[in-house]
């Protein structure tokens, strides 16, 4: 009697695949799509909402203690900070593309290999590039946005602290992107809640002062943020190394730089980084147009609160849906289900449209009341801010839909198209409108708000059309089997 030949290699591969399937959440590539999208989006939205409270509290405390110039200092500083830091985020975008695809295919070793190399690359850029360059360039950057002397005085120490101690925030971004792309959105939500609570405690104490601790004002906001993110980063590194989470820094490929992976991180991530830089440079240049208005300080304060804080009610939900669209689409493409990937993004877009329309209702009918929560009492600032919120009530709908399709494109590996779309819609169109009007009839605040709206409508239209073309179905994500 002949016994069947046992192929131990095949059995080992099957066992590894079964283990991977248990490790990752397979409901993202099976079953109800709305439930799959919401499973990733809801925790991310909640994380963004709770995290956004940090910025709101900062503005509330600073606005009531220091005045609207303190609000302007934080708003201007964050706009500049994001221009530089977004480059590190590009590495994490590339990392997320790879992780989602490999998790969908059940390739655990490639997931962990990618996580470690993304971490290594982000740390190097943060410490070797962002910290020294940002510190010395901060005065020039503040001058570039036409911030008035009083605003610059408040913003400079804040900005320098953020540049020097941004490492904790970078690790948090890396952690969130890696876990969500692997299908776990709850862990980064819990980490984000803890970080926000710590941030609120530190910021309230350091901005206002408490007992023997002096009041640091605007500078205290930066110190509190860096303390909170640093503590959370230290805990996260411990958990990532221990192997308790769905992704880990431990991997069988070693811990030296793996150029085959790093090349892929930049291949998919660099366009997203350039996109983010272009958008934020556009934002900085837009601030310079705002700074050229007759009532520049009032307009910059209105912009910082209306667009920087209140509009976050739209961006919090939209960014959550963008991440969900990227994760679910990427994993389904990795599982060889392109049509399910397409419908996942369409589902996320419908969620975004409804949510942004609801928030827009309050922007349209209760703008002055919303601004009042931030201690904005100056009549000129309130008038300009209310005007901006009415424009944003419409603009938010287009932004939300645009971001979901951006997530769909990026999650499936098409990171170049959002780059080109963003340059056209967020830089060329709004800045071009402002430049022409400034040099012809004279620039007014509502001209700038109209330019922002025009850019958002364009971004939504182009993102939708590009995604529906479906060219992302043919994008391949591969790694070399050996470390180079």
Q: 453: which 2 tokens?
A: 């709206």
- Please state, in angstroms and rounded to a whole number, the distance separating the CA atoms of residues 326 and 331: 8
Give the pLDDT means over successive 10-residue stretches in the chain (484 positions).
Answer: 47 47 79 92 84 66 70 78 74 91 92 93 88 91 80 89 90 90 92 88 86 87 91 94 91 88 91 82 84 82 83 86 95 94 96 94 91 79 90 95 96 95 94 94 91 96 96 87 52
Q: 219: which 2 tokens?
A: 């500078």
Cβ neighbours for 322, distance < 8 A, ≥ 6 positions apart: 348, 403, 404, 406, 407
Residue 117 CB coordination number (10 Å): 30
Q: Which has the closest alpha carbon to 431: 272, 270, 280?
A: 280
Q: 469: which 2 tokens?
A: 């073309």
User: 3-class secondary structure for 346-357?
Assistant: HHHHHHHHHHHH
Residue 397 near residue 356, CB atoms below 8 Å: yes
Q: 79: which 2 tokens?
A: 């706009």
Q: Structural domain boundaries of the chain? A: 32-474
- Please state, in angstroms and rounded to a whole number, the distance separating the CA atoms of residues 311 and 307: 5
- Please state, in angstroms and rounded to a whole number, the distance separating the CA atoms of residues 449 and 454: 9
Q: How far is the CA of 269 from the CAs of 29, 86, 392, in angstroms?
A: 24, 11, 29
Instruction: Give the DSSP per-residue string, 451-469.
Output: HHHHHHHHHHHHHHHHHHH
Chain centroid to CA 87: 12
Residue 293 near residue 449, CB atoms below 8 Å: no
* pLDDT score, position 300: 81
Phi and psi angles of residue 232, each rounded to the nearest 5 degrees, phi first: -65, -40
Q: 429: which 2 tokens?
A: 């169109």
Give, to the nearest 10 degrees, the angle between helix 445-469 and helix 259-291: 150
Instruction: Give the DSSP per-residue string, 288-341.
Output: HHHHTSTTHHHHHHHHHHIIIIITHHHHHHHHHHHHHHHHHHHHHHHTT-HHHH
* pLDDT score, position 482: 52
Residue 100 near residue 341, CB atoms below 8 Å: no
Q: What is the pLDDT of residues 261-273, one digit of tens each?
A: 999 999 999 898 8
SS3 state of residue 98 = helix
- Please state, in angstroms and rounded to a whole number, the distance separating the CA atoms of residues 45 and 336: 28
* pLDDT score, position 1: 44
- Please state, in angstroms and rounded to a whole number, the distance separating the CA atoms of residues 408 and 333: 11
* Partners of 163 in beta bridges: none
Q: 349: which 2 tokens?
A: 């877009």
Sign of CA dihedral 310, 314, 320, 322: negative
Q: What is the pLDDT of residues 348-363, one digit of tens each?
A: 999 999 999 999 999 9
- Please state, in angstroms and rounded to a whole number, the distance separating the CA atoms of residues 327 and 242: 24
* pLDDT score, position 416: 94
* pLDDT score, position 62: 73
Give, to the nearest 10 degrees, the angle between helix 68-105 and helix 131-144: 130
- CA torsion 184-188-310-41 (nearest 10°) is 10
**Angle value at C-alpha 36, between 468 and 329, nearest 5 degrees:** 35
Cβ neighbours for 267, distance < 8 A, ≥ 6 positions apart: 94
Q: Which has the closest alpha carbon to 169: 204, 198, 141, 144?
A: 198
């Amino acid at each position: 009697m002949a016994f069947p030949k046992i192929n131990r290699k095949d059995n080992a591969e099957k066992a590894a695949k079964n283990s991977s399937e248990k490790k990752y959440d397979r409901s993202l590539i099976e079953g109800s799509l709305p439930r799959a999208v919401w499973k990733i989006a809801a925790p991310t939205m909640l994380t963004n909402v709770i995290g956004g409270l940090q910025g709101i509290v900062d503005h509330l405390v600073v606005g009531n203690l220091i005045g609207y110039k303190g609000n302007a200092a934080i708003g201007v500083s964050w706009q500049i900070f994001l221009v530089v830091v977004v480059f590190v985020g590009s590495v994490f975008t590339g990392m997320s593309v790879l992780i989602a695809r490999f998790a969908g295919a059940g390739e655990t070793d490639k997931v962990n290999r990618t996580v470690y190399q993304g971490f290594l690359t982000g740390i190097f850029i943060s410490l070797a590039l962002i910290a020294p360059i940002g510190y010395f360039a901060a005065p020039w950057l503040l001058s570039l946005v036409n911030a008035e002397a009083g605003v610059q005085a408040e913003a400079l120490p804040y900005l320098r602290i953020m540049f020097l101690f941004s490492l904790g925030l970078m690790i948090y971004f890396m952690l969130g992107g890696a876990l969500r792309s692997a299908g776990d959105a709850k862990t980064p939500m819990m980490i984000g809640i803890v970080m926000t609570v710590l941030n609120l405690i530190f910021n309230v104490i350091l901005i206002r002062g408490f007992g023997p601790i002096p009041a640091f004002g605007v500078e205290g906001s930066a110190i509190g943020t860096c303390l909170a993110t640093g503590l959370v980063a230290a805990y996260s590194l411990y958990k990532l190394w221990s192997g308790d989470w769905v992704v880990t820094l431990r991997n069988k490929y070693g811990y030296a730089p793996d150029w085959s992976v790093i090349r892929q991180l930049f291949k998919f991530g660099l366009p997203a980084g350039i996109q983010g830089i272009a958008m934020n440079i556009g934002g900085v240049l837009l601030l310079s147009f705002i700074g050229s208005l007759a009532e520049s300080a009032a307009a910059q304060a209105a912009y910082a609160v209306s667009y920087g804080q209140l509009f976050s009610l739209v961006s919090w939900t939209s960014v959550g849906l963008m991440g969900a669209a990227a994760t679910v689409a990427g994993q389904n493409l990795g599982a060889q289900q392109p049509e399910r990937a397409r419908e996942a993004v369409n589902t996320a877009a419908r969620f975004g449209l409804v949510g942004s329309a609801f928030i827009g209702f309050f922007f349209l009918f209760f703008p002055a009341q919303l601004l009042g929560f931030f201690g904005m009492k100056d009549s000129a600032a309130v008038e300009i801010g209310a005007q901006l919120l009415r424009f944003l009530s419409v603009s938010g709908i287009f932004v939300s839909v645009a971001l979901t399709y951006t997530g769909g494109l990026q999650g499936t590996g098409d990171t170049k198209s959002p780059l080109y779309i963003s340059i056209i819609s967020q830089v060329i169109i709004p800045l071009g409108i402002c430049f022409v009007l400034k040099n012809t009839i004279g620039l007014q605040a509502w001209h700038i708000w109209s330019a922002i709206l025009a850019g958002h409508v364009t971004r939504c239209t182009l993102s939708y059309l590009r995604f529906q073309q479906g060219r992302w179905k043919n994008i391949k994500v591969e790694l070399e089997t050996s470390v180079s």
